[in-house]
Amino acid sequence: MATGALLQAINGTSLAALLFLVASGFTVTFGLMRVVNMAYGAYYLLGGYVGLSIAQASGSFALAVVGGGAAVVVFGFLVDRFLIRHTGENHLAQVLLTVGVAFVVGDVALKIWGGDSLKVPVPLFLRGAMELPGGLVYPTFRFVLILFGVAVAGVLWVLYTRTQIGAVVRAGVDDREQVAATGIDVDRLFAMVSALASFMAGMAGVVGGAFLTLYPGAEWEILIVALVVVIVGGLGSLGGAMIGALVVGLLDAYGRWLLPEFSYFVLFGPMAVLLLFRPRGIAGKDA
Amino acid sequence: MTPARLAGAAALAVAAAVLPEVAGPFWMGLVTQMLVFGVLALSVDLLLGHAGLFSICHGSFFAVAAYTTALLEVRYAVATAMAAPAGLLAGTLLGLVFGLAVRTRGVYFILITIAFGYVVWGVAHRWSSFTGGDNGVTNVPFPAVAGVRIDSHTEYYYLVLVAVALVALGYGRVIRSPFGLALRGIKGSESRMRTLGYDSNRHLYAAFVLSAALASLAGVLYVYYNRFVNPVAASFPVSVEAALMAIIGGTGTILGPFIGSIIILGLRNWVSSFFELYAAIMGLVFIVAVLWVPEGLVGLAARVRGRRAPAGPGSATG
């Protein structure tokens, strides 16, 4: 039982790492650009599938991660430029529009990659299991994913809180007009942040595809869980996304383990209770 | 009602009544489906068009009502007279819980309703010992009340038609009542309504529960038509498509959601008969609707009419 609990803690943390990659993009683009982009799940799936094809063609996992991310950067740029831009700050329009984009991506991906669950092949040294201190045997890939997630979160955190670009982004989240008034090219800033968010979603697809597999419908499952992360953490907050990802990842792992038929309750129930007391999430500010 | 609108409504009623004489069973099935999903779209629009709240969880009330009725009929052999009201009640009770979402507004409300909606889908999907998992509940019988038995799709069509007519009448009364006008006021300016002493959260909560009850009615009508129900009924696409129907038809009207339902379901049937990627086409419809027809077809028609003949005194606005 104790080993099981520990195992689930690691499972939950590795899921949290993946969720953070998707949710952080969603939350920061919302905070900065006031855009609700429901296509992030589809970005995840698209990146995963493109990465899968690259991995099959080249045999390189690293190339797959970068290629999957890059493909989504291009796609996300086109969606931003030609579609989302026309919605202004109408969230209803953004939701419908990006849901439409996700439907198109999902269906075209089904046509290209088929309806079976596909697994992105991982390099040999990440396959198999490793023994953790304490004698626990755990899949190597998922353990490395935790380290990877922590590293990405660390880099983002430093970028966000310690660099000038991060300061501009934080200022933009608080007051966009003031930032524009100081002579900063807000459009370029948006494009950069959006590209980074797209890249992380695409990269997450490749990494997630290596252990959760890719299949039609995966785009909505990952998006919904990422939304819970964002709601729990507080919309627009990077720190909130970190906390939220950890909370949701652990709840999901323990929920699946202890109450497999009601794991959705375990995930969403606490969210509903939290909302009663803090409608804007753990780290959310009143807007 | 003006004479012109009265004549229009009468013509519509006559056309709907004689439709089974000219249309075959396939078309009757499709039209029944359009009416049922029109009711679902109307329930979404009570919040969207009148209270300004965009809910994406109405598939849950729809599905919970459908599942409740189906399980009672099939597994416990409960009569329609009990099973159908139980379905309505179950969906409405869920509305009482999910209605807590009205504590939030805007994006938060949208995201929270999406998350709520997923719980229902997840339970239907995972709790397979009770819900039948992905296979769902099959072999739901036609409804029978007090010895009167429906035993064809045409007869069921008439039942749905009567239900829709009653819903339209009741809905019209609600939106013109002081409660409906208060909702409009909240949509227009919540802070002003609060200043006037209206408890906006309580009004929105009531609207949410009422709208959940209407979605539940659609669910009960659906399950007797479809004869089975599976987790797809609770899925995100159902909820978001219901909103799209209201938007395409025109929000804030009674006819709009039905027009939207006719267009979306008609389009899906037509496209899927010759083109494999119909989900992608539906996605494009979302995009086109948002970018080019944001006020819906009813709004578009009003605008075109308004351009041809400038609105005179006494013409309705809004």
Residue B294 belongs to some domain of the structure: no
A231 touches chain B (CB under 8 A): yes
For the record, the structure tokens of B291 come out as 């970018």
Residue B17 belongs to some domain of the structure: no
The answer to whether the beta carbons of residues A235 and A228 sit under 8 Å apart is no
Predicted model pTM:
0.88
| Distance from the B98 Cα atom to the nearest Cα atom in chain A, whole angstroms | 9
Give the lowest-confidence range in A31-35, A112-116, B34-38, B232-236. Answer: A31-35
What SS3 class is residue B78?
Answer: coil
Which residue would you say has higher pLDDT here, A276 or A234?
A234
Taking an 8 Å cut-off on Cβ atoms, the answer to whether B100 and A275 are in contact is yes
| Distance from the B191 Cα atom to the nearest Cα atom in chain A, whole angstroms | 15
Residue B224 belongs to some domain of the structure: yes
| Distance from the A8 Cα atom to the nearest Cα atom in chain B, whole angstroms | 20
Residue B153 belongs to some domain of the structure: yes
| Distance from the B279 Cα atom to the nearest Cα atom in chain A, whole angstroms | 6
pLDDT band at A45 (very low <50, low <70, confident <90, very high): very high
- For residue A110, the chain B residues in CB contact (below 8 A) are 279
Give me the percent of chain A exceeding a pLDDT of 90: 34
The pLDDT score that the predictor gives to residue B153 is 84
- For residue B286, the chain A residues in CB contact (below 8 A) are 96-97, 99-100, 103
The whole-angstrom separation of Cα B28 and Cα B155 is: 10
Say yes or no: ipTM exceeds 0.95: no
Residue-wise pLDDT tens digits, B84-100 = 999 999 999 999 999 98
Residue B184 belongs to some domain of the structure: yes
Q: Which residues contact B30 (CB under 8 A, 6 or more apart)?
A: B265, B266, B269
The pLDDT score that the predictor gives to residue B82 is 92
Residues 62-121 of A with CB under 8 A from B: 83, 86-87, 91-93, 95-97, 99-108, 110-111
The pLDDT score that the predictor gives to residue B1 is 60
Between chain A and chain B, the number of residue pairs with CB atoms below 8 A apart is: 124
The pLDDT score that the predictor gives to residue A1 is 61
Nearest chain A residue (CA) to B97 = A272
The whole-angstrom separation of Cα A169 and Cα A30 is: 12
Q: Using CB atoms, which residue from B110, B116, B284 is nearest to A95?
A: B110
Taking an 8 Å cut-off on Cβ atoms, the answer to whether B123 and A276 are in contact is no
The answer to whether the beta carbons of residues B183 and B50 sit under 8 Å apart is yes
Residue A286 pLDDT > 60:
no
The pLDDT score that the predictor gives to residue B215 is 97
The pLDDT score that the predictor gives to residue B171 is 96
The whole-angstrom separation of Cα B310 and Cα B318 is: 15
The pLDDT score that the predictor gives to residue A137 is 81
The pLDDT score that the predictor gives to residue A105 is 96
Q: Give the number of domains in chain B.
A: 1
Measured at the CA of A105, the angle between CA A104 and CA A110, to 5 degrees, comes to 100
Taking an 8 Å cut-off on Cβ atoms, the answer to whether A108 and B277 are in contact is yes
The pLDDT score that the predictor gives to residue A135 is 74
The answer to whether the beta carbons of residues A102 and B283 sit under 8 Å apart is yes
Residue B268 belongs to some domain of the structure: no
The pLDDT score that the predictor gives to residue B313 is 40
Give the lowest-confidence range in A18-27, A85-94, A127-136. Answer: A127-136
Residue-wise pLDDT tens digits, A143-161 = 888 898 899 889 988 988 8
| Distance from the A50 Cα atom to the nearest Cα atom in chain B, whole angstroms | 19
Which residue would you say has higher pLDDT here, A263 or A119?
A119
Measured CA distances, A269 to A247, A272, A276, B298 (Å): 13, 5, 11, 40
Three-state secondary structure of A176-214: HHHHHHCCCCHHHHHHHHHHHHHHHHHHHHHHHHHHCCE
Residue among B182, B187, B163, B175 at smallest CA distance from B40: B163
pLDDT band at A252 (very low <50, low <70, confident <90, very high): confident
Domain that residue B87 falls in: 25-234
Q: Residue A118 — φ and ψ, nearest 5°?
A: -115, 145
What are the 10-residue block averages of pLDDT along chain B, 318 residues in total? Answer: 79 83 85 96 94 92 96 92 94 94 86 87 86 88 83 88 94 94 91 89 95 97 93 91 90 91 92 84 88 74 65 38
Residue-wise pLDDT tens digits, B166-220 = 999 999 999 999 999 999 999 988 889 988 888 999 999 999 999 999 999 999 9
DSSP A87-136: GTT-HHHHHHHHHHHHHHHHHHHHHHH-SS-B-PPPPGGGSSEEEPTTS-
